[in-house]
Amino acid sequence: MKLRKAAAGMMILGLSLAALTGCGGSDKEASGAGEGGMPSELNVQFVPTNNDGSMQAKAKPFADYLSDKLGTTVNVTLATDYSTIVEAMASGQVDIGIMPPAAYVQARDMGAAEALLTSQLGAYDRETGLPIEGELTGTFKGEILVRSDSDMQELTDLAGKKIATLSPNSASGYIYPVAEMKEAGIDPVTDCTLTTVNDIPSEMTAVLNGQQDACFVFEGARNVFAGSFSDYDLMKDLRVLYLTEGDIPNDAIAVQPDMDPAVKEQVKEVFLNMKNDEEGAEAMNLWGHKGYTEVTESAYDTIRDYTELAAE
């Protein structure tokens, strides 16, 4: 797919947030520094995959795990949406962000985030939608889900339909499907009715009960959230209408660019070794991560093109 270059509406938000980057100094200075440059306190933030309240409780064990491994007090908070984690990184309120790809690119372009690692996810069979045992991937697709009994069969059938989306800062929950719909000749902003919801389970519920005709989610979402739906079999009751052509890079483990290099290395080592112990593996399950690898910055560059097109 050949994406068109255009002035991005998202860049306006990025420029406005950039003004916040000068506000982080006092927070960092107040935290002090421990032995070997390690601050006496580190603040970590991530975007929850759902907003049912369960993620907050799970954040405490993760904070304890990081505190033990890094030898300092670690506070873990949940971002309310994709834009707030960018704001938190830009203002210096957060030292380490477990950042969805589009949020990371926005913060990176503002000089507010530096990726240390990228996450690995379980790969999916594109025909069956089921996980491939033992296979990991550094990218994923966006999915457009509809009810299995829907008469829609292709992307252009979405014209005039009601679609549940995530934040406009979500790669799979908005940016990639919107951009590719525009490439197919449908402007979902004007040709469809878009409704932003808080999380993926809410999106899928709205489709299942007929309030929405379709929803934008990440690849494998039916598998990930199957346990949240006791009255439905998501693999049978929902089907994939469309899988994005574009590959979306996985989440980034990002830090403040001016973090002490020695501290960066310690943080990097902790995340790289998470898969090797039970507590670490449990922590990674908060986001479905299976491990971490060295980051390739160029892999994130495609997000900018998609963002520009989606914002036209």
CB 170 within 8 A of CB 140: no
Same fold, 9-121+250-310 and 142-243: yes
CB 91 within 8 A of CB 20: yes
Stretch 195-203: mean pLDDT: 95
Architecture of domain 9-121+250-310: 3-Layer(aba) Sandwich (3.40)
**Number of DSSP helices (H) and strands (E) in the chain, helices first:** 13, 14
Tokens read off for 167: 């934040």
CATH topology of domain 142-243: D-Maltodextrin-Binding Protein; domain 2 (3.40.190)
pLDDT in tens, 35-59: 458 999 999 999 887 766 677 778 8
25 class by beta-carbon count within 10 Å (0-12 exposed, 13-18 middle, 19+ buried):
exposed
Stretch 152-165: mean pLDDT:
97
Question: Does residue 11 surpass a pLDDT of 60?
Answer: no
**Hunting for tokens 């069979």 — which residue is that?**
125
Q: 227-234, long-range: CB within 8 Å, 24+ apart, which pairs?
A: 228/50, 228/52, 228/201, 229/201, 229/204, 229/205, 232/208, 234/204
Give the list of residues 6+ apart from residue 19 with CB closer than 8 angstroms, or none: none
- Picking from 252, 246, 99, the residue whose alpha carbon sits closest to that of residue 175 is 246
Better-scored residue on pLDDT, 74 or 9: 74
User: Hunting for tokens 């962000």 — which residue is that?
Assistant: 97
Whether 98 shows a pLDDT value over 60: the answer reads yes
Q: Is 291:275 a contact under the CB 8 Å cutoff?
A: yes
DSSP H/E element including 200: helix 200-208
Give the chain's largest Cα–Cα span: 63
The H or E element that residue 38 is part of is none
Q: Name the amino acid, one letter, at 10.
A: M
Q: Is the pLDDT of residue 213 over 70?
A: yes
Q: Which residue from 56, 144, 55, 47 is spatially nearest to 101, judged by alpha carbons? A: 47
pLDDT at 8 over 50: no
Q: How far apart are CA 68 and CA 54, in angstroms?
A: 23
- DSSP of 100-130: -HHHHHHHHHTT--EEEEEEEEEEE-TTT--
94 vs 217: CA distance, rounded Å: 27
For the chain, what are the domain ranges? 9-121+250-310, 142-243
Is pLDDT larger for residue 219 or for residue 16?
219
Which stretch of 22-36, 69-83, 213-227, 281-295 has the lowest confidence by average pLDDT? 22-36
Beta 214-218 vs 96-99: how paired, if at all?
unpaired
Amino acid residing at 307? T
Residues 6 or more apart in contact with residue 21 via CB below 8 angstroms = 90, 91, 92, 110, 111, 112
Dist CA 97 CA 252 (whole Å): 8
User: How many angstroms separate the CA atoms of 284 and 229, rounded?
Assistant: 22
Between 1-15, 75-89, 271-285, the lowest mean confidence (pLDDT) is in 1-15
